[in-house]
Structure 1
Amino acid sequence: MRMNRREFLRWSGTGIGFLLLPARLLARRRSTAQSHSSPSESNESPAAGRANLVVTALADPIRAKQVLAGRAAVDPVDGREKFWITNMNEHSGGELIAIDFESDTAEVFRWPAGQGSWCVLPLPRERLAISTYYDGKFLVFDMRRREFTHVVSFPGESYVWEMAIGSDGRVYGGTYPGAKLGCFDPETGEFEDCGSPVAGTENQYLRNVATAPGGDIICTFGSARQSVRVYRIASKRFELLVPDEPDFFAKPIVSLRGHLFVHHAERGLLAFRGPQLEPVERPPLPDCPVGSGWKGIARYSTEERVHLTAERQTWEWLPATGSLTLVTGLSLRGCRVLDATRDGRLLGIRGQDYFALPSGSPSLELRRIPAESAGRPFHFLTADPPGSPGPHRIWGGPSYGQTVASYEIGTGKVWNSGAVVDSSGEVYGAVSVGGKLYTASYSGADFAVYDPARPWDQWNNVNPRHIGSISDQHQCRPTGRMRLGPDGNLYSGWQADYGEYGGALVRLNPRTEEITVWRNPLGDEPVISLAIGGRFAYLGTDQTANGLPRREGKGQFGVWSLAEERVVFQQRMETMNAVRCIGAMRTRELAFFPEKDELHVFDGESLQFVDRIPAPVPDSPGWCEDVVLHPSGYLLYARGTFLVRVAPNLRTEILGPLEKPVNHMTFGPDGLLYFSSGTTLYSLRGL
């Protein structure tokens, strides 16, 4: 997972590019600043700079959850066993949700810090520990008192991943981007940075930790060079788990019944005995009744009840009696099993739903998580085109959750989907074509299609339907989003898989659903910006990668011929770390992108740069990632609270300031501009 792009305002960070505003407009900007009413009040407000620009707050439509962790624990308040899950909200803060799975009700507790979590860990004395991102903290929640008692920072780290309790009673956790181990005392909150044995390398992750037999901490490091190490609490030193194999790597890691169990990709399930972690020839487990042996042991297993996995099956082993029982053989694709109840039901999450699966059940019952979450910021914004089947909608989606949301023009009806594909992650790009919504998603490099006129049935791959994945092409994240070309095809720009530098340009034909991948069109750099003109696709790159540090070097601008299927122009931009926010016209074959106080202008007919338009705005805010083309032919950029309109004759007009900064924007089928600011969707009339 990429960690460095979660700001409240999603700007490109590449510079400025607007004309200077007249003094009278600046004076009006100072005198008209005021707060905006809530969306429910349907407040309309004229924008400064042009009397007929009217902004209307519509809704906070995105309510999707992103649940990555959960445990079963008895609620001391009422004595009922509940499912305690963590939910991400990058705007209002993370949430701890206590689901009573018997009554299908829930309570929500807002965190004092953090936006999301990968781990919730039961502690003695009716408490829970929660590790957070994007601020790298440990939280302690007292279930009886219904309050957070400690907030512990890990300085310099943005993620604290999994946690484990050491022999000293302290809680240990691994981090990103420093690949460090840290710990804190849950009684006092006192923190210690335990350091990293891979400091100074390209390894940025210490993601998995577990308590070893004897109470030391097992750690997995990656992703440039993976290894498994043991942190000896007494000596405060890291040791290799397998001293003769520094690159030995295995996961998941589970400590149980005096042994450490790990699963190796080639050797299968392995076991190490006692505090010294001596390898044993055969794991002390019952014989596996199916397939080629056990694949893993669930992290939620206990000394009394062990859950084993094999061939997509989950088995329950009771060591005291030797009983081995099949819990489920159901396909749980897209599901995350997080714990088991006292009576043996499997508790888990699938997108916006949870389940409590009884042993031997012939089917999986999914229930929507019974809690309303606060609004979330938009990760993308698009709209049904003019002439498409009604009702017309504005579409968006959040960072993580793998969902889409819609706002129905005219009625104001809001709808949030379940997961559009089985893989975890998020929708990066979406385009509405012929009444259907096509999506491109991280992290499985998936394409899907959804028809809003038909019933939702993702579980059976009916609607939305999975078109295909390009993960076999070593791609992961559609950083260049997805655009509709003049040939009716959908083009997307990609960043390579974890541990690799590179990217791709991809074409999806919505008529045949054929997917064509061109890897590394501008070399081993990701395609982070993409615009489609009349004949060409315009590409921008930088030096970032998934799970690797940013390389030294500048970004590129490139031109791809849609007809010839090849690069016809590329240039390293020696003064730019990244080429972002590319916009393209079709009435004239022109492309634009910003650098500091200017817009570069590229002529597709002559295949050369022809101009640089000076266009500064006050206070130099970042550029909105979206650049939208109006049917009449002009391009619209946004920067903070200002809009800049670029005509085909290169005449540039500044509009604004609006009362809210523009995060994402799109033109609707009714000709209005729709934009997001924070969690709210707005419309703008008068352009």
Structure 2
Amino acid sequence: MFKREAAPKLYEFVGQPCRNFNILGQTSLIDPLDGKEKHVLSNFALGGTGTVVIIDTLTGEGEQHELPIGNGAWGIVNWNNEKLVIGTCVEQAYLHVLDLRTRTWAEPLKSIGESYFWKMGLGSDGKVYGGTYPGCSLMQYDPATHTLVNLGKVSENPKNLYSRPVWGEAPGYIFVYYGFDTKGLKVYDIAKGTFQEFGRPEAEIREINDRFICTRTNGQLDFYDPQTLQPLDDAGLADQLKPSKITLANGQQLPFIELEDDRLASFRGQDYFIVDKPSSPQDYDTPQPIALAQIPAKAPVTEIFTLVEDPKGQIWGASGFGQTIFRFDPATGEYWNSSSVCNEGGEVYGMVFVGDRLFTASYVGGDHTVYDPDQPWDQLNNVNPHTLRSVGPQLIRPEGRSVLGPDGGIWTGWSANYGVYGGGLSRVDPETLEVESWYDPIPERAIASVAADDQYVYFTTHSGTSGLATRHDIPWQLGIWEPGKGLIDQYDYPASPNETFGIAASQGKVAFAAGTEIHIFDVAERKVVHTVSVSQPCLWLLKLDDEHVAAFCGDELIRIHLHSGEASLLSLLPGTIRAATLTAAGDIYFSVRTSLYVIRARELSQLN
């Protein structure tokens, strides 16, 4: 190990340029302070603290209230125009209650053992219900006593980790969707305190009202009596379903809420809108000339998820959640944040500049986009950024990030859809914008990280996926991929609880991380030739030059020689990094949660 007491701190703090809204839930209320109707948005701020934004539906004026703790989440319920009930994630599921008369928060409540509160609903008993992850539980909040109770696991299948969302419109019942190893609906009987299966396997709730419950299973609609839960003759009932989405001029459909003055309210990225209700159900599917308005509040600081330099020396990055990107000028400290880069929710993982254009890869829709910073922003009409062919729904999360391959293509590593073990690679041709993809090059393995040298694309795998627990009983791999040919070899690493994230390659040498070990693989010899032990897990590897890589291991930055395996401690760090990039000038920019730092090339050169 290394002598920390002698290690310098070479980094400089340069700013917090990543700021965005990531609205996950909405409701409306009649404000007890002025009697006016308000549109309420629940905002998630990864790396920061969530907020709620309360907007006057007539004047457009807004007020923002920061949660006591937590990033924010999907759950938001208006309780009798007296309280707002908010759920949060990611590290701990909290429940918060805002008194609307005093605009003060009650003491936060924890859902013990849970990380996420998903969407919540109001039951006929006046209590608020919500689903969770990873416990797949149903939570019950009693506003009268300010207590939170776990009513139990919704699914008996231990592989099902999610219970989301919930519906409380049918008197006496709470409906919960669960997944993702198996999927379906449970109904909770409030009086009896019991769960039972409801509907067809994999059915989802389409609508609940006082006349019927409608489920949808792979496009098929079924109807049930909301009191007896027995099937109904569906003759004519489908015609009574309310529209659930409204269509923008670009064809995108967005969910909405109804206001009391016969208008509709919704949001899109960094904007919101309020429009008159269409005159007929058919008009909801007709593209509407909807005017978007900027959310009337200051966007909070959020976590930096990806970093890259452009040819002009500007630093670009992506937000940890919210599907936005930012630009930072190292010379002036000025920054700019975008609106949504594509129509789907999620975040940008992959960022690669080819010439002056930025290519991105995003979760959750498996989207590729191309953006020209020198041209006007017009994502709404799919002009700039322009969305290319998606690799979803088979591949949805580009957690392997993106690299420029030896063939000039942009290569991205993906994990599979929710509830499916697997992954894949994609390639974007920067000239033709053609997208190619390969599903499961190594069966049932997600792509954890991707690198390239002048001959091959390299990737590591893992056995996790969205919606299911990671498997630790099977090996993971280092894959060697030759553009134009495919997978030419793989190196199996023994089953281990150590996840693999970092990878870097140069001239036939590949460094890859496995927990507290960094391995150097010789492509010609097809074996690991050096192993470096470190004291903290390595989450990022960065090529410094043809012979060296930088390993970000907890709060230590370690330089490793690819040919000898010799390692030295370059600098202590302010925390565990989220992303890093090397500039053409030799500066290392990296992020720790919401903060951007730099280690100057001149500082590194003094250590040589």
Q: TM-score, normalised by structure 2?
A: 0.91
Paired residue for 1:324?
Answer: none
**Is 1:414 equivalent to 2:414 in the alignment?**
no
Paired residue for 2:580?
Answer: 665
**Is 1:507 equivalent to 2:427 in the alignment?**
yes
CA distance in 2, matches of 1:79, 1:197: 39
Note the C-alpha offset of 1:165. Answer: 2.5
Paired residue for 2:283?
Answer: none
2:539 is paired with a residue whose SS is: coil
Match of 2:97 among 119, 135, 140: 140
Paired residue for 2:543?
Answer: 629
**Is 1:176 equivalent to 2:133 in the alignment?**
yes
Paired residue for 2:263?
Answer: 345
2:5 is paired with a residue whose SS is: helix
Paired residue for 1:155?
Answer: 112
Contact 1:535–1:561 (Cα < 8 Å) also in 2: no
Match of 1:521 among 441, 449, 452: 441
The one-letter amino acid of 2:362's match is S
- In structure 2, relative to structure 1, the CA distance for the partners of 1:338 and 1:603 (3 Å cut) is same
Paired residue for 2:2?
Answer: 20
Note the C-alpha offset of 1:201. Answer: 3.2
- In structure 2, relative to structure 1, the CA distance for the partners of 1:200 and 1:274 (3 Å cut) is closer
CA distance in 2, matches of 1:609, 1:471: 35
CA distance in 1, matches of 2:82, 2:451: 54
CA distance in 1, matches of 2:584, 2:290: 40
1:481 is paired with a residue whose SS is: strand
- Give the count of matched residue pairs: 592
2:205 is paired with a residue whose SS is: coil
- In structure 2, relative to structure 1, the CA distance for the partners of 1:663 and 1:330 (3 Å cut) is closer
1:460 is paired with a residue whose SS is: coil
Paired residue for 1:273?
Answer: 225
Paired residue for 1:6?
Answer: none
Note the C-alpha offset of 1:274. Answer: 3.8
**Is 1:366 equivalent to 2:292 in the alignment?**
yes
1:468 is paired with a residue whose SS is: coil
Note the C-alpha offset of 1:573. Answer: 1.5
- In structure 2, relative to structure 1, the CA distance for the partners of 1:267 and 1:594 (3 Å cut) is closer
1:278 is paired with a residue whose SS is: coil
- In structure 2, relative to structure 1, the CA distance for the partners of 1:225 and 1:594 (3 Å cut) is closer
Paired residue for 1:16?
Answer: none
**Is 1:609 equivalent to 2:528 in the alignment?**
yes
Q: TM-score, normalised by structure 1?
A: 0.81
Q: How does 1:178-577 map to 2 (within 5 A)?
A: 178-242=135-199, 245=200, 247=201, 249-252=203-206, 254-268=207-221, 270-282=222-234, 288=239, 296-297=241-242, 308-309=243-244, 330-331=248-249, 333-334=251-252, 336-360=254-278, 363-384=289-310, 388=311, 390=312, 392-472=313-393, 474-563=394-483, 565-574=485-494, 576-577=496-497
Residues 574-607 of structure 1, C-alpha deviation per residue, up to 9 Å, x if partnerless?
1533552443343x31011234554211111222
The one-letter amino acid of 2:389's match is G
Q: How does 1:112-151 map to 2 (within 5 A)?
A: 112-124=68-80, 126-134=82-90, 135-151=92-108
Structure 1 unaligned spans of 5+? 1-18, 30-46, 289-293, 298-307, 315-328
Note the C-alpha offset of 1:260. Answer: 2.3
- In structure 2, relative to structure 1, the CA distance for the partners of 1:378 and 1:279 (3 Å cut) is same
Contact 2:121–2:166 (Cα < 8 Å) also in 1: yes
CA distance in 2, matches of 1:449, 1:248: 36
Note the C-alpha offset of 1:151. Answer: 2.5
- In structure 2, relative to structure 1, the CA distance for the partners of 1:670 and 1:657 (3 Å cut) is same
Residues 86-139 of structure 1, C-alpha deviation per residue, up to 9 Å, x if partnerless?
111233321111122433332111112331221211112521111222222322
CA distance in 1, matches of 2:181, 2:324: 30
- In structure 2, relative to structure 1, the CA distance for the partners of 1:132 and 1:675 (3 Å cut) is same
Paired residue for 1:679?
Answer: 594
CA distance in 2, matches of 1:278, 1:470: 40
The one-letter amino acid of 1:639's match is C
- In structure 2, relative to structure 1, the CA distance for the partners of 1:235 and 1:283 (3 Å cut) is farther
CA distance in 1, matches of 2:515, 2:69: 34
Note the C-alpha offset of 1:642. Answer: 2.4
CA distance in 2, matches of 1:256, 1:404: 40
Contact 1:104–1:370 (Cα < 8 Å) also in 2: yes
Contact 2:303–2:319 (Cα < 8 Å) also in 1: yes
Note the C-alpha offset of 1:678. Answer: 2.4
Residues 26-49 of structure 1, C-alpha deviation per residue, up to 9 Å, x if partnerless?
4345xxxxxxxxxxxxxxxxx44x
Paired residue for 1:646?
Answer: 560
Q: Identify which of structures 1 and 2 has the higher relative contact order when contacts are C-alpha pairs closer than 8 Å and 6+ apart.
A: 1
CA distance in 2, matches of 1:661, 1:152: 28
CA RMSD of aligned residues (A): 2.4
Paired residue for 2:281?
Answer: none
- In structure 2, relative to structure 1, the CA distance for the partners of 1:203 and 1:195 (3 Å cut) is same
Note the C-alpha offset of 1:219. Answer: 1.7
CA distance in 1, matches of 2:56, 2:374: 34
1:27 is paired with a residue whose SS is: helix
The one-letter amino acid of 2:73's match is S
- In structure 2, relative to structure 1, the CA distance for the partners of 1:116 and 1:508 (3 Å cut) is same
CA distance in 2, matches of 1:621, 1:158: 24
CA distance in 2, matches of 1:374, 1:212: 34
1:117 is paired with a residue whose SS is: coil
- In structure 2, relative to structure 1, the CA distance for the partners of 1:575 and 1:363 (3 Å cut) is closer
1:409 is paired with a residue whose SS is: coil
Contact 1:213–1:273 (Cα < 8 Å) also in 2: no
Contact 2:405–2:456 (Cα < 8 Å) also in 1: no
CA distance in 2, matches of 1:125, 1:395: 42
- Pick which of 87-96 and 348-357 moved more: 87-96
- Pick which of 421-430 and 554-563 moved more: 554-563
Contact 2:362–2:397 (Cα < 8 Å) also in 1: yes
CA distance in 2, matches of 1:622, 1:663: 13
Note the C-alpha offset of 1:188. Answer: 0.8
Note the C-alpha offset of 1:62. Answer: 0.7
Note the C-alpha offset of 1:197. Answer: 4.5
